[in-house]
Amino acid sequence: MYGIKEAGYAGWEIVGDGNYRLTNPACFSKIQEVIASTRLGVTVHAPYGDLNLATLNDPIWRESIRQVCTCIEHASALTDRVTIHPGYLSPVGKLLPRKAWDLQKEALRQIGKCAVEHSVLACLENMIGVKEFLCRQPEELIGMTEGIEGIGMTFDYGHANTMGKVEDFLRYAGKADHIHIHDNKGMSDEHLALGDGTIAWPVVGKTIAARYNGVIVIEGRSIEEAKKSLAVFRRYFV
């Protein structure tokens, strides 16, 4: 983690799972040590593995909400931005898509209430080009989050590229509360360094810079790729 600052970055997105699960006291203590010694800014990505905010399985639905809310509670000591994933249509959910949508909305209301109580904005993220996922289109993401206190939006332009929707999300760039960027070739969520895929960063960078002034997270797979991405970012996001 110390390599993040050495690579030229001002902040760290903590994915609150595995070795970085904020609910684990030992993990949280180590995270605080890194932040204290590097003075990196922080945003948090809530856990999402095996969770589903749109499931019709009630115990799983409630546990998914609980884990996201618990992450928000702990993250509030570090940041005011937490990214969360939308749910997806299970085989049962495909039979009742309206019910799944309503359950996702209710989950966001509960998560939003928790976020407000802890002075955090929980930002729902657009998803990749897998048909079972909710919130792959900008209009769907906006409709899902609209009017729910404590809930914002994370625009992920790598995810948008797997849907062929980069230009669509750029039209709404001013509505984003948080932004993730990474590259791919339009077929899968590869998380390549900026410039190694098919996203037109000169256009994307110029448009985002003109319409958005919040935190931008470059998501990558290694420090070396992070350095390459940062060079592209500094060239076009001006």
Parse the chain into domains and list their residue ranges. Answer: 2-236
Q: Whose structure tokens read 């945003």?
A: 43
Residues in contact with 134: Cβ distance below 8 Å, sequence separation at least 6, in sequence order: 54, 86, 87, 88, 89, 100, 101, 104, 127, 140, 144
Kindly tell me if the per-residue pLDDT of 204 is higher than 90: yes
Q: Report the percentage of the chain scoring pLDDT > 70.
A: 100
Was domain 2-236 assigned CATH 3.20.20.150?
Answer: yes
pTM over 0.85: yes
Tell me the pLDDT band of 24, cut-offs 50, 70 and 90: very high
Kindly tell me if the per-residue pLDDT of 211 is higher than 90: yes
Q: Residues 138-151: pLDDT tens digits? A: 999 999 999 999 99
Res 2: pLDDT: 87
Q: How far apart are CA 29 and CA 47, in angstroms?
A: 18
What is the torsional sign of CA 106, 175, 75, 30?
Answer: positive
C-alpha distance from residue 37 to each of 2, 15, 26 (Å): 9, 19, 17
Mean pLDDT of the chain: 97
- The dihedrals phi and psi of 180, each to the nearest 5 degrees, come to -115, 140
